[in-house]
Amino acid sequence: MRCSTALLCAGLGLSTVVSSAASGAEKSSLAQRNAENIFSVISSFAEKFSMNETEPTPELLEELKKQVSSSEGVPVDSVEKAFEAMQRNNDGQGNKNMIDMAANIASDGLVSADTLDSLNYAASSDINSVSNDNQKVPDVPVYPSKSPEDAPYSLDETTLRSAIHFPSGFEYCQGQKKPVILVPGTSVPAGVGFNSSLTKLLSGTTYADPVWINMPNASHNDIQVNSEYAAYAINYVSSICQDKPVSVISWSQGGINTQWALKYWPSTRSIVEDFIAISPDFRGTILAEVICPALPFTLACTPAFAQQASTSTFLRIFRGNGGDSAYVPTTTIYTAFDDIVQPMSGPLASAILKDERNVGVTNNSMQKICFGRPAGGIYTHTTSLVNPLTWALVQDALLNPGPGDPERIENLKEDVCNKFIPDELEKKDFFNTVGLTFVFLGEALKYKDKTNIEPGIVDYAI
C-alpha cells in the first residue's frame, strides 16, 4: 500500500479500505489481490496530488487500465451480471469513501480495459472544453443582466459563454428540435459524463437537441459561481433560438446549480419549459463527511464538496425563502441506493422539491415506482443516468405539458420497469457510465485548492 502518512490515508478514508481488504471480508483471494493492487495505483496518484504534482485525469485512467489488463479476473460481460455484483457489494456494507467505491468496481470486474480506454478518450476530448468559440450574439442582450431583478454576475460574459458546448449537429432551433441544456454534477465533466447516456439518448430523438455546460474544474469550485454558468446558458441559448423556451436536465450538483439560477435570476423562469433533475442533492448529503473528513489537512475536500454537506450554510441559504420549492415544472428522479447522496428515500429524500408555487412537480423514486423489478434495483449515483425509468420520465416530460408523470407512461410496469437499461443504449454505454466513478475520483484528486471550509455566501443571497 503506497500511502506515505497516516494523515494522508485518513484524508481519503484509505485506512478503512486497507482494513477491509486485509480482512478479505466477502471477497475472494483473487478479488482481494486485485483490490490491493488498485488501491496501490490510486494511492500513488493521491500522494502525487498531495505534493502538487498535477497530472490530468486520463493519466489515472491509463494506470488503472494497466492494472485491469494484467488482472487474472474476467470482466463482467453482461448488464445482468453487473447488477448481481452490485447487489453483492451492497449487502451488509456501510458507507463507503470514493476510493472504496472505485476499488470495489474494479476488483469485481465491473470495469474493463476497453471501458477505461473509452473513458480516457472521452475525457481527453474537446467535448469537455471550457473554451468554446460561441460567436452568435443574442438578439436581446442577456449580459450583464436580462432583467433588473437578476443577480449580478461575478464572471465576464466571454468566460460564461465559452463554457457552453454546442455539438456539431446542433440545429439552433432551425428545425423541430427543442434545445435541452445538460448541467453536470460534481467531479464529472459534462462531455464525458453525459456521453454514454443523455447525449446519446437525446440526440437520437426527433424532438430534443442537447447542448451542455462544461463547468471549470469539473464543478469543484464555489457552487454559487458554478450556478452563474447555468443562469447565463439558459438565457443565452433561448436568446439565440429566437427566445424559444428551453428544457434543462441536470445530474447531481447540476440540480442545485439550476435551482439556484432559477431562484436568483428570475428572468430564466419564463423560458424554462421543463426542469428534470436526476439524482439531485437539494438537501445535500450526509455522506459528505465521508468525502470531506474533518481534518486540519485533507486531500479530498473541495469548495463544492463542503457546500453539499447536509449541514452547510450554503444549503440553508439555498433552501430558504422558497428555494426548496419548484419555480418551473420540475421532475426529480432518484435512487435509494445512491452511493454519494443520502438520504434518498422517504419524505426527507434529498432529491425532493415542494410545489408551493403550483407549477407542477413530481418526485420519482426508482425503487418505489418499479418496486421488485429490474429498474427498481441497485442503481447508484452514476447509473441513475442509464436507468430505463429515468429515460421514460425524461421523454414524458419533454413531450407533454408539465412534469414527467409515471402514470402517463404506457406499459410502465410490464415494459419500462422490467429493463436494466433503455433499449436505445448498448452494454458498453452502461459500463462506461459505471466507470464514471474513476473520472469522479481523478477530478477530485487533481483539484488544487483543497479546503474543508465552505466559501462565504454572496452578497445578493444574504
Looking at the domain assignment, is residue 131 inside a domain?
no
Give the model's pLDDT for residue 300.
63
User: Is residue 175 domain-shared with residue 53, that is, in the same domain?
Assistant: no
User: Is residue 114 domain-shared with residue 162, that is, in the same domain?
Assistant: no
Looking at the domain assignment, is residue 132 inside a domain?
no
User: Is residue 274 domain-shared with residue 298, that is, in the same domain?
Assistant: yes
Looking at the domain assignment, is residue 144 inside a domain?
yes
190: cell is 459534462
In tens, the pLDDT along 349-367 reads: 999 999 999 999 999 999 9
With a cut of 70, say whether residue 424 has pLDDT above it. Answer: yes
- Distance (Å, whole) CA 420 – CA 289: 31
User: Is residue 275 domain-shared with residue 387, that is, in the same domain?
Assistant: yes
Percent of residues, the chain, with pLDDT higher than 90: 69
Window from 97-101, 280-284, 457-461 with minimum mean pLDDT: 97-101
**What is each CA distance from 453 to 13, 298, 300, 367, 435, in whole angstroms?**
18, 11, 12, 35, 29
Q: Whole-prediction pTM value? A: 0.92
149: cell is 431583478
| Rounded average pLDDT over 44-67 | 70
| Rounded average pLDDT over 316-322 | 98
In tens, the pLDDT along 178-220 reads: 999 999 999 999 999 999 999 999 999 999 999 999 999 999 9
User: Is residue 79 domain-shared with residue 166, that is, in the same domain?
Assistant: no
Residue 37 binned pLDDT confidence (cut-offs 50, 70, 90): confident
Give the model's pLDDT for residue 51.
59
Q: Quote the number of domains for the chain.
A: 2
- Domain interval for residue 224: 138-461
* CATH value at residue 188: 3.40.50.1820
Give the model's pLDDT for residue 30.
57
Percent of residues, the chain, with pLDDT higher than 70: 84
How deeply is 144 buried, as exposed, middle or buried, from its count of CB atoms within 10 A (0-12, 13-18, 19+)?
Answer: exposed
